[in-house]
């Protein structure tokens, strides 16, 4: 039937080259372990880029998916459905938000957020108030609007002309924001911890200052919690640990525990600007996605699970420090909860990709956040022993990277 071997080589033959996946093909996973076509085992510290918050193939998520699969798959938004209504109720009960818009990915959630911010200001203050301020190194997705609000030119270069009315200031620099913000600003957009940009947390004082500046200028504060949300920091959403509330918040990644879903959450004050017919998505609020997401949220939004995130982080940090005491390769360990960034020392800058490949050869999946920072975003319920076993593999990879760097 299928005449060709299905392997990594086939990727280069039939896929657009925008990705360069590792040289093996995973075929199954369970918890924080994954196996490839040759049945090699991997410990997963990547978590599908902060998506698989309950690990792979969690029984409760499988059960929710199977149950919904036998009932109803899709309707479109000409009709509403029970899983979407239940999930929206649970999200609004659990957060600052009063209203939810569902979509299928992070970029779509941000696209909705930025459009809503513009529309709200247009409706309430007129067309002149349309400027969006975001931060250098910020990441908000790969649509044209979201790469334009994102603060890394490399994701935008070659795709211009970009949408206008967007400017960037340095992260954690309140004076810079104060100088840039004006009554023409409709929104300030930020990640509570810049994820792709290098795992850089916002200073608590900075966040409070941003909120105040937004209030002074009638600008909406948009939190992109696509990477930091759904338990990642040990809070259901990171803003809950920061003493401020946004006006709009986006969630995706872990929200579906591995099933694609995105959500934009906002208040009763702002939501009316997305009146009937102003925005939409065919798949948004899909019953399968919402059923899985509801099961994931039920499990994650529990004090015991959330409180345990700090304990798991402590094991990660302890093991990383042990490796560093022996090999002196890390400059800084950053992040919060189970969003962990490890900056390599200056002499190893640029070695992130080599590190990833070396780790994979040892049987460990990790991520990067730029060329100099290793990133880990594992399952929130990764067994303690898997953390320690994975760290032993990371140390082996580290030894190889150091030897290769010394030989070069």
Binding residues for N(2)-acetyl-L-ornithine are 142, 281
Instruction: Based on the shown chain and the rule CB under 6 A, indicate whether residue 111 belongs to the binding site for ligand PLP.
Output: no
Q: Is 12 a catalytic residue?
A: no
373's CB contacts (< 8 A; 6+ apart) are 198, 199, 334, 341, 342, 343, 344, 352
Which position has the token pair 């007129």? 126
Smallest distance, ligand PLP to C-beta of residue 197, A: 9
Q: Is 154 a catalytic residue?
A: no
Instruction: Based on the shown chain and the rule CB under 6 A, indicate whether residue 107 belongs to the binding site for ligand PLP.
Output: yes
Instruction: Based on the shown chain and the rule CB under 6 A, indicate whether residue 195 belongs to the binding site for ligand PLP.
Output: yes
The window from 124-132, 134-142, 180-188, 344-352 that contacts ligand PLP (CB under 6 A) reads 134-142
- Site size toward ligand PLP, by CB under 6 A: 15
Among candidates 60, 63, 152, 43, which has minimal Cα distance to 395?
Answer: 43
Instruction: Based on the shown chain and the rule CB under 6 A, indicate whether residue 336 belongs to the binding site for ligand PLP.
Output: no
Q: Is 386 a catalytic residue?
A: no
Of 107 and 297, the one with the shorter C-beta distance to ligand PLP is 107
Looking at 36, 44, 131, 224, which residue binds ligand PLP (CB under 6 A)? 224
User: Would you say 323 and 140 are in contact if contact means Cβ atoms under 8 Å apart?
Assistant: no
Q: From the candidates 45, 139, 145, 223, which is the catalytic residue? A: 139
Instruction: Based on the shown chain and the rule CB under 6 A, indicate whether residue 284 belongs to the binding site for ligand PLP.
Output: no
Instruction: Based on the shown chain and the rule CB under 6 A, indicate whether residue 226 belongs to the binding site for ligand PLP.
Output: yes
Smallest distance, ligand PLP to C-beta of residue 352, A: 17
Instruction: Based on the shown chain and the rule CB under 6 A, indicate whether residue 140 belongs to the binding site for ligand PLP.
Output: yes
Burial of 326 (0-12, 13-18, 19+ CB in 10 A): exposed
* Cα gap 359→173, rounded to integer Å: 35
Smallest distance, ligand PLP to C-beta of residue 194, A: 8
Of 256 and 363, the one with the shorter C-beta distance to ligand PLP is 256
User: Would you say 362 and 392 are in contact if contact means Cβ atoms under 8 Å apart?
Assistant: no
246's CB contacts (< 8 A; 6+ apart) are 96, 220, 221, 222, 223, 239
- State the greatest distance between any 2 C-alpha atoms of the chain, in Å, as a whole number: 65
User: Would you say 139 and 253 are in contact if contact means Cβ atoms under 8 Å apart?
Assistant: no
Looking at 91, 189, 222, 252, which residue binds ligand PLP (CB under 6 A)? 252
Q: From the candidates 36, 44, 224, 336, which is the catalytic residue? A: 224
Among candidates 96, 31, 22, 85, which has minimal Cα distance to 62?
Answer: 31
Judged by the rule CB under 6 A, the positions of this chain that interact with ligand PLP are 105-107, 110, 139-141, 191, 195-196, 224, 226-227, 252-253
Kindly list the catalytic residues: 139, 224, 253
């Amino acid at each position: 039937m299928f005449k060709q071997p299905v392997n990594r080589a086939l990727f280069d033959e039939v896929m657009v080259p925008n990705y360069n996946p590792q040289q093996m093909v995973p075929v199954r996973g369970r918890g924080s372990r994954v196996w490839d076509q040759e049945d090699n085992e991997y410990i997963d510290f990547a978590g599908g880029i902060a998506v698989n918050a309950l690990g792979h193939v969690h029984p409760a998520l499988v059960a929710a998916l199977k149950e919904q699969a036998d009932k109803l798959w899709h309707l479109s938004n000409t009709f509403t459905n029970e899983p979407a209504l239940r999930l929206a109720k649970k999200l609004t009960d659990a957060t600052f938000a009063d209203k939810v818009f569902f979509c299928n990915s992070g970029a779509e959630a941000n696209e909705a957020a930025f459009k809503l911010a513009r529309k709200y200001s247009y409706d309430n203050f007129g067309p002149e108030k349309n400027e969006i301020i975001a931060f250098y190194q910020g990441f908000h997705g790969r649509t044209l609007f979201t790469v334009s609000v994102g603060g890394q030119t490399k994701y935008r270069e070659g795709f211009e002309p970009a949408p206008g009315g967007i400017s960037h200031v340095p992260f954690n620099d309140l004076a810079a924001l104060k100088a840039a913000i004006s009554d023409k600003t409709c929104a300030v957009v930020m990640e509570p911890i810049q994820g792709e940009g290098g795992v850089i947390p916002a200073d608590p004082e900075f966040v409070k200052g941003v909120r105040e500046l937004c209030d002074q200028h009638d600008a909406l504060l948009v939190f992109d919690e696509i990477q930091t949300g759904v338990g990642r920091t040990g809070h259901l959403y990171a803003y809950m640990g920061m003493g401020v509330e946004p006006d709009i918040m986006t969630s995706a990644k872990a929200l579906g525990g591995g099933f694609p879903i995105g959500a934009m959450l906002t208040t009763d004050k702002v939501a009316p600007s997305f009146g009937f017919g102003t925005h939409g998505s065919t798949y948004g609020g899909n019953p399968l996605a919402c059923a899985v997401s509801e099961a994931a949220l039920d499990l994650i939004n529990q004090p015991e699970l959330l409180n345990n995130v700090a304990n798991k982080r402590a094991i990660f940090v302890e093991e990383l420090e042990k490796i560093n005491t022996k090999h002196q390769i890390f400059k800084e360990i950053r992040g919060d909860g189970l969003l962990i960034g490890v900056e390599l020392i200056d002499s190893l800058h640029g070695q992130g990709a080599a590190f990833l490949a070396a780790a994979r050869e040892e049987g460990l999946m990790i991520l990067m956040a730029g060329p100099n920072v290793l990133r880990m975003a594992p399952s929130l319920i990764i067994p303690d022993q898997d953390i320690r076993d994975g760290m032993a593999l990371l140390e082996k990879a580290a030894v190889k990277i150091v030897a290769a760097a010394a030989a070069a």
